[in-house]
Structure 1
C-alpha cells in the first residue's frame, strides 16, 4: 500500500450528499486515492429511512458511532438493529438493504474493502494508557478516535489525535512499530493486502 503515515483531521473529511438524498457521506480515505479503490473509510450521516447503495465485490462493516439506533432490513428478510453505544454489523456489499432510523439521525462508521484484494479486521477498544501497533509489508493500520485524545510516540512525528480524527499507519516506512498513548475510545482497523 503506497502511502505515508499521517493524521487526517475530522475537518478534512470530504462530505458528499447521497444520490438518494437521505443522508451524507464524510469520506475519510480511500486507497488508492485515485481510480478504483481497494478499501475505503467513511462516516455515513443518515437523516431518514432509505436504501443503501449496492457494492458488488465489496465487503463492509458498519459501526454505530452516534445516535439512538439503526435497523437494517435486508431484502432476504434478515433484520439487524444497531443499538448504542457502538453496535456493528459486517455484510456483503451486494446485499440489498434498507436502513430505518429508530429515533432520529445516526452517524455510522463505514469500512469497505474489495474482498479479492484485502483482508480487513475492525477492533473496538478503550484507550487507557499505551497501545502498540505493528506495521509489516502489506499491512496498514487506520486508527479512528471515537472519544478522548491521544498522542503517538515522538519518533513517529505524527500530530496528536482528537476525537473524530483518523491516523493512517503505513507499511514500508522502516518503522514497524507505533506507540499510542492517551485516554478515550477507538476503532483500530487492520488492512492487509492479498
Structure 2
C-alpha cells in the first residue's frame, strides 16, 4: 500500500491549453500514453475543445467539481451530460469526442485501461471500504475522511496498490468513514486472464 496526496502531485498543462492533468498512477510505472496498461488521473478542464482519442483504451470519467461537461461524439453515438458529481461514465477511448463546458472550470476523475489487458471497476462508497482486493487499484477520499487503523485519510488523499507478482497475500485493514457524509472512490483494476 502506498499513500498519496493530490496536493503533492504536480499538474501538467495540456498542449492545447484547454486544461491540465495530475497523474496519480500508471502501470507500468513511467509508461507513456502509448504503452500504459492502466492510468488514473485528475483533469482540470478550463475550456471547450476536443477530447483526445485513445484507440484500444476503455475510459471512465467522473465529475468531481464544477458545473460539468457535455461530451458529444456523433460517429460513436455519444451525447452525454457529465453534470452530477461522482457518477462514473464509461466509454470507448476510440471515440473522437467534442467537449463543451456547462459553466466554468471543472475537475474530473479519469480511469483508462488497455482493452484486452486490464479492466476497471469504479465504485463510490460511504461505508466500510476494503482496499487491496484486486491486482491493482486505488482509493481516494472525495469528501470527509476515513480511518484505516490509526491512519487518517482526508479529502484528496488515498491509497494505491499493485501486485508485484510475489504471490504475497495482502489483507489490509478496512477504511472506515468518520461521519455519514464521508465518501471515497474505490478503483479495482483486474488483469485479463487473472
TM-score band, normalised by the shorter chain? 0.7 to 0.9
Aligned equivalent of 1:163: 155
Pairing 1:182–2:177 present? yes
1:113-132: CA deviations, max 9, x gaps? Answer: 111211211111224xx333
Q: Is the 8 A contact 2:133 2:188 kept in 1?
A: no
Aligned equivalent of 1:51: 50
Q: 2:14 aligns with which of 18, 23, 48?
A: 18
Deviates more, 1:112-121 or 1:163-172: 163-172
Distance 1:176 1:37 in 2: 27
Distance 2:133 2:190 in 1: 10
More strand by share: 1
User: What's the offset of the Cα at 1:10?
Assistant: 1.1
Aligned equivalent of 1:96: 96
1:20 alignment partner, SS class? coil
User: What's the offset of the Cα at 1:134?
Assistant: 4.8
CA separation of 1:88 and 1:17: change in aligned 2, threshold 3 A = same
Distance 1:134 1:13 in 2: 22
Aligned pairs for 1:56-95 within 5 A? 56-76=55-75, 77-95=77-95
Aligned equivalent of 1:118: 118
Aligned equivalent of 1:27: 23
Q: Is the 8 A contact 1:48 1:101 kept in 2?
A: yes
Distance 2:57 2:173 in 1: 29
Q: Kindly report the root-mean-square deviation, in angstroms, between the aligned alpha carbons of the 2 structures.
A: 1.8
1:16-43: CA deviations, max 9, x gaps? Answer: 1111111111111111112321111111
Question: Structure 1 length normalisation: TM-score?
Answer: 0.86
Unaligned runs of 5+ in 2: none
2:7 alignment partner, SS class? helix
1:63-96: CA deviations, max 9, x gaps? Answer: 0010112100113253110113323311111100
